[in-house]
């Protein structure tokens, strides 16, 4: 059975609720963060799939980030360009647009094949550790607990894929 975005979101939400029934419940903002990080972890491994919704969103986000950075750096770039190239700087906006698209293309080409390293226990550990360090740095909630929820959500994706592969029907 092929597993997709819907199956991962649904399975992640159901698994989160099930685990909440078995473990001590985080309170307040920490509960919302734990749920969001668990469900985000449940779809995160599919960043390596060229057709995933998350990958499409990441492409748009990367393009927006590069365009924003170039927009804010434009006055500095424009002044430097005028000093060096003079009237040829009229083409700079076009060159910067190509640069933005090129950055997204390069980032896209760095993503490994589907169900490769992104679908591994090691990647789940990296995601959980990253959440732990980020929440520790920001000072939001119990960093270890939030990192553990993120790690569990990432593992839920791998589990859903494993079960989906074992079921012989569509």
Same domain for 57 and 41:
no
Same domain for 119 and 103:
no
Per-residue pLDDT of the chain (170 residues; tens, 9 = 90+): 566 677 777 877 888 888 888 877 777 888 888 888 988 888 888 777 777 777 778 778 878 887 887 778 777 777 777 777 777 777 777 777 787 777 777 766 766 666 767 788 888 999 999 999 998 988 887 888 889 989 999 998 888 888 777 675 55
Strands (E), 38-114: none
Same domain for 159 and 83:
no
Contact 115, 161 (CB under 8 A): yes
Does this model's pTM top 0.85? My answer is no
First to last CA, the chain: 5
DSSP 46: G
For residue 113, what pLDDT is reported? Answer: 66
- Give the angle subtended at the CA of 24 by the CAs of 20 and 29, to the nearest 5°: 75
For residue 18, what pLDDT is reported? Answer: 86
Contact 104, 62 (CB under 8 A): yes
Same domain for 93 and 62:
yes
Same domain for 98 and 57:
yes
For residue 112, what pLDDT is reported? Answer: 63
Q: Residue 167 class from Cβ within 10 Å (0-12 exposed, 13-18 middle, 19+ buried)?
A: exposed
For residue 151, what pLDDT is reported? Answer: 93
Same domain for 128 and 160:
yes
Same domain for 119 and 35:
yes
Same domain for 57 and 101:
yes
Same domain for 134 and 92:
no
Same domain for 118 and 105:
no
Which residues have CB under 8 Å from 108's CB, separation 6+? 59
- Which residue segment(s) compose the domain that 70 sits in? 53-109
For residue 140, what pLDDT is reported? Answer: 80
């Amino acid at each position: 059975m092929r597993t997709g975005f819907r199956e991962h979101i649904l399975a992640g939400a159901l698994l989160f609720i099930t685990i909440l029934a078995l473990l001590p419940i985080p309170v307040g903002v920490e509960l919302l963060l734990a749920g969001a990080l668990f469900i985000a972890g449940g779809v995160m491994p599919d960043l390596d799939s060229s057709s995933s919704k998350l990958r499409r969103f990441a492409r748009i986000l990367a393009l927006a980030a590069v365009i924003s950075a170039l927009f804010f750096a434009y006055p500095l770039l424009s002044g430097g360009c005028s000093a060096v190239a003079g009237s040829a700087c009229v083409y700079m906006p076009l060159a910067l647009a190509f640069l933005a698209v090129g950055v997204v293309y390069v980032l896209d080409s760095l993503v490994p094949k589907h169900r490769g390293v992104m679908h591994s226990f090691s990647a789940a550990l990296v995601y959980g550790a990253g959440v732990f360090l980020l929440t520790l740095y920001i000072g939001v909630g119990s960093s270890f607990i939030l990192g553990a929820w993120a790690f569990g959500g990432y593992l839920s994706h791998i589990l859903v894929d494993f079960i989906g592969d074992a079921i012989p029907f569509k």
